[in-house]
Amino acid sequence: MAGRIAIVGLGPGDLDRVTGRASELLNDPSRTVILRTLEHPAARALATRREVASGDDLYAAAETFDAVYEQLARRVIEAAAHADVVVGLPGSPLVAERTTGLIVDLAATEGIAVEVVAGESFLDILAGELGIDLLGLQILDARDLPKPLLLHLPTVIAQVDTPMVLGDVRDRLLAVLDGSTEVVVARELGATEATIDRITLTDVDGTMAGLRTTLYVDPPPAGWPGLLSTMRRLRRECPWDSKQTHHSLVRNLIEETYELADALSALPPEAPGGEPDYGAYADVEEELGDVLLQVVFHTIMAREAGAFGIEDVAETLRRKLVRRHPHVFGDVDVDGVDDVLRNWEQIKQDEKQRVSLMDDVPAGLPGLERAAKIQRRAASVGFDWYEPNAVMDKIHEEVSELGEVLDNHAEAEAELGDVLFSVVNLSRHLSLDPEVALRGAVDRFTTRFRWMEQSHDLEGATLEELDQMWAAAKAAERHEAEASND
């Protein structure tokens, strides 16, 4: 007949802190006692008073801590097949203790009764020593810090057991906190040799790591929460930020997006593969922040209107990604990238309930890009020129019509739009991006004009002289290109 299992906490320190039901079970001579580890003051003291088994041999053999906990749980279940077992775990079995859940689940499948006796945890002592409220406290595992690391609440980082782990924790904190931020380093809580030190983050070093080392930090909001907090304050207190509207910021969003595009274009073509260019990535990081600022700004204003907040934006996006990737989150099979794109477009069309091919092409797109997207939609049903020369004829026709109405502002604007629309059509037939082509032309003009400024005094020059300088600038550009190719 199977025995019973009792899971008790050894507390955070010395054995004399273990009282009541837990002490009674640990000292019951009729029960088999299995300790997760002897590397604990109460465990070592108990081992001098009675026969115990431990899982220390598992730590030496297993590759991961999870493997240790799973093997220990199975060992407990095997022992309970023949006797009543008491499992002694450091601290409380209900705080930062995965072994408890594993034993409970395995015992349920075997029909073995389990009693869990809560014990004093390191959190109880830490809260008393520091005078903090456990309600609203964030408790993190030093070996598994979340990404991103959100420091919006008072935070305890437990199980800082090795110098390597402590170094990683320190680096992660320094990524979002100033080095002068105060950190509490608590060691050996509940034991006679307990220490609690308040130091700056930069003063944290590897010698402070240990099996019973805990960090506590209560910084001002930093990182992502800090950005939101800062923007909310700017919205309240900054004269410029407080006067902005969704419409007034549209230009900023477009400009920042193009600056990000410029920064991204400086990355190696194979990025993120290949050897990273950290200088280029630094520029990308800054420009991504500027774009993110626009996203945050708009969501904060939307929250003011009672429409939505950043959490709604994130969750809506998450659901969309799941819905549009059924080959990842569902049971749809795909054969390569083309299948993924076709599924994406079909799902998007169903979601948007598109009636016309002209639907849902954003009016806010840059003109060249919007024209290209509209033309691709029309071309999908065959409404398009067959080859580039036919488009060239159309461009000549549109230019001629423009020339006839130059004295009429409204008509000239319309005809100029037709010329540009036709030019975009030609770019599609040549498999060229009109925006990239135009940006290249602007860059070439800028380079040549700078050459003219550096080589000549432009003040007072006639148009004929300026044309000659321009021709010389183009010649110098060609010469430089030829030299670089040699």
- The secondary structure of 441-461 as a DSSP string is HHHHHHHHHHHHHHHS--TT-
Residue span of the structural domain in which 461 resides: 436-485
260, pLDDT greater than 90 = yes
Residues 269, 196 share a domain: no
CATH number, domain of 205, equals 3.30.950.10
For 355-433, where are the alpha helices, taking DSSP H only?
367-379, 388-403, 409-429
| Tens digits of residue pLDDT in 60-76 | 888 888 899 999 999 99
Residues 382, 414 share a domain: yes
The whole-number pLDDT of residue 378 equals 81
Boundary of a domain, candidates 416, 432, 448: 432
The whole-number pLDDT of residue 229 equals 94
In a domain, 47, yes or no: yes
Question: Across the strands, what pairs with 87?
Answer: 7, 34
User: Which helix H or strand E contains 484, and what residues bound it?
Assistant: helix 463-485
Range with lowest mean pLDDT among 163-172, 377-386, 432-441? 377-386
User: Which helix H or strand E contains 243, and what residues bound it?
Assistant: helix 239-243
Residues 167, 90 share a domain: no
In a domain, 342, yes or no: no
Residues 442, 423 share a domain: no
Residues 143, 172 share a domain: yes
- CB distance 137 to 153 below 8 Å: yes
284, pLDDT greater than 70 = yes
Average pLDDT rounded to a whole number, residues 350-358: 79
Q: Can you tell me whether residue 481 is helix, strand or coil?
A: helix
| Plot region of 115 (φ>0 → left; ψ -120 to 50 → alpha; else → beta) | beta
254, pLDDT greater than 90 = no
In a domain, 338, yes or no: no
Closest listed residue to residue 354, CA positions, set 377, 384, 328, 388:
377
Residues 32, 70 share a domain: yes
Angle, helix 65-80 to helix 98-110, in steps of 10 degrees: 40
Angle, helix 367-379 to helix 409-429, in steps of 10 degrees: 60
Average pLDDT rounded to a whole number, residues 121-150: 92
Boundary of a domain, candidates 388, 413, 432: 432
> In the chain, pLDDT over 70 holds for what percent of residues?
99
Q: Can you tell me whether residue 187 is helix, strand or coil?
A: strand
In a domain, 371, yes or no: yes
Boundary of a domain, candidates 432, 452, 473: 432
36, pLDDT greater than 80 = yes
Give the HSE-up count for residue 325: Cα atoms under 13 Å, Cβ half-sphere. 9
User: Which helix H or strand E contains 86, and what residues bound it?
Assistant: strand 85-89
Order of strands across the sheet that contains 32-35: 53-54, 32-35, 85-89, 5-9, 114-117
Average pLDDT rounded to a whole number, residues 236-246: 96
In a domain, 208, yes or no: yes
In a domain, 253, yes or no: yes
89, pLDDT greater than 80 = yes
485, pLDDT greater than 70 = no
Residues 469, 363 share a domain: no
Q: To which residue do tokens 């809260």 refer? A: 127
The whole-number pLDDT of residue 331 equals 87
Measured distance CA(438)–CA(446) in Å, rounded: 12
Question: Across the strands, what pairs with 34?
Answer: 53, 87
Q: To which residue do tokens 């299992």 refer? A: 5
CATH number, domain of 13, equals 3.40.1010.10
On average, the pLDDT of the chain sits at: 91
What's the pLDDT band for 99 if we cut at 50, 70, 90?
very high
CB neighbour burial string for 401-416, b if at least 16 within 10 angstroms, e if fewer: bbeeeeeeeeebeebb
Average pLDDT rounded to a whole number, residues 278-305: 96
Average pLDDT rounded to a whole number, residues 179-196: 93
Measured distance CA(476)–CA(470) in Å, rounded: 10
| Tens digits of residue pLDDT in 440-477 | 889 899 999 999 999 888 888 899 999 999 999 999 88
In a domain, 329, yes or no: no
The whole-number pLDDT of residue 435 equals 82
Flag whether the pTM goes above 0.75: no
| Tens digits of residue pLDDT in 322-335 | 998 999 998 888 88
110 token code pair: 């075997």
In a domain, 367, yes or no: yes
Average pLDDT rounded to a whole number, residues 219-241: 94
What's the pLDDT band for 163 if we cut at 50, 70, 90?
very high
Residues 108, 18 share a domain: yes
Residues 138, 72 share a domain: no
The whole-number pLDDT of residue 484 equals 63
- Per DSSP bridges, beta strands 85-89 and 32-35 are parallel
75 token code pair: 């060992």
Give the HSE-up count for residue 217: Cα atoms under 13 Å, Cβ half-sphere. 29
Question: Is the torsion defined by CA of 67, 70, 75, 78 positive or negative?
Answer: negative
380, pLDDT greater than 90 = no
DSSP one-letter string for 426-444: HHHHTT--HHHHHHHHHHH
Residues 132, 109 share a domain: no
Q: To which residue do tokens 């907090």 refer? A: 229
Number of compact structural domains in the chain: 5
1, pLDDT greater than 70 = no
Closest listed residue to residue 389, CA positions, set 421, 424, 426:
426
Range with lowest mean pLDDT among 212-226, 302-316, 334-348, 429-443? 334-348
Residues 78, 44 share a domain: yes
Measured distance CA(359)–CA(227) in Å, rounded: 36
CATH number, domain of 381, equals 1.10.287.1080
Cα–chain-centroid distance for residue 430?
Answer: 38
Average pLDDT rounded to a whole number, residues 427-432: 88
Q: How far is CA 256 from CA 37, 278, 288, 294, in A?
A: 56, 21, 9, 8
Residues 116, 16 share a domain: yes
Question: Is the torsion defined by CA of 464, 465, 469, 475 positive or negative?
Answer: positive
